[in-house]
Amino acid sequence: MSLSSLMLQSCEGCLPFKTLTQLSGRLAQAKMGAFTTLLIKNFIQTFNINLEECANPDPAAYATFNDFFIRKLKEGVRPVAQDCKAVCPADGTMGASGMVKEGTLIQAKGIDYALIDLVGGDRQDAALFEEGGYATVYLSPSNYHRVHMPLKATLLRTVHIPGKLYPVGQRNITGMPGLYTKNERLVCFFDCEGATLALILVGAALVGSIGTVWDGTVIRTEQVARQDLRERRLTLERGAEMGHFKYGSTVIVLWPSSLGRCRAELTPGTTVQMGQALVV
């Protein structure tokens, strides 16, 4: 284990990220009138938020900080590409991408992690994506925080995996092996014309909650929770909203090899927006 990894894990003991996350979540959800507006204005200035993209650009119109954080965008400001196999699910920064090899994905240069651990320990779930593709998008606090569908697909099931809430910034990605398999995450499986697509929403420090359009805020549990949702018969179109984060985090997309490969230009560190071509 590297020194930086050891230091990060040690910090969980003396600086409990879960406790801090709970506290920040309560503050972000509190209705504090003028003080909430002040917090939002400070956030806008600090992170250079483009209000012209917002469906409602008035900071005072948001009752809580979270309402602003998961703000909607104006219609049409994120065109959804049609000349590709799948589109980017979120605004953010590209992390590692590629094809799954021998059950292994790349977290960062020199750091790998296991597919089976990522999806919750089920070998059948992992087998769906063996030799398939993956792409990682990191959302910083400055990004738009709603997550959208890469392509038209029907909801099958979800797996909520409890875990730590380590920060997922670049320093930690390159310093802690298996970071994405240590943190809390929600794995959402979809059927797309007989093949399976997965969107994995990874929690992190100060992420107040993960939410979906079908069940709202995900209830955090101490055990792995599997939910069969086929009876909902919920089909979401390409570019349709499927969930959100209440603070920065990471989305990992998994797809079968038959779908194609991630665009070569989308190297780690590339800025991406929801709706642009991802898989070709």
Catalytically annotated residues: 91, 148, 249
How far is it, in rounded angstroms, from Cα 108 to Cα 29? 34
Per-residue CA distances from 62 to 55, 56, 172, 230 (Å): 12, 9, 32, 35
DSSP readout, 210-273?
A: EEETTTEEPPP-SS-EEEE-GGG--EE-TT-EEEEESSSEEEEEEE-GGG--B-TT--TT-EE-
Residue 248 is encoded by which pair of tokens? 């920065």
How far is it, in rounded angstroms, from Cα 179 to Cα 112? 10
Beta bridge partners of 197: 190
How far is it, in rounded angstroms, from Cα 68 to Cα 43? 10
Q: Closest Cα to residue 132, out of 92, 104, 173, 161? A: 104
How far is it, in rounded angstroms, from Cα 93 to Cα 99? 19
Q: Closest Cα to residue 137, out of 218, 57, 40, 248? A: 248
Residues 6+ apart with CB under 8 A from 273: 78, 88, 91
With H, G, I as helix, E, B as strand and everything else as coil, classify residue 70. Answer: coil
Element (H, E) at 94: strand 92-99
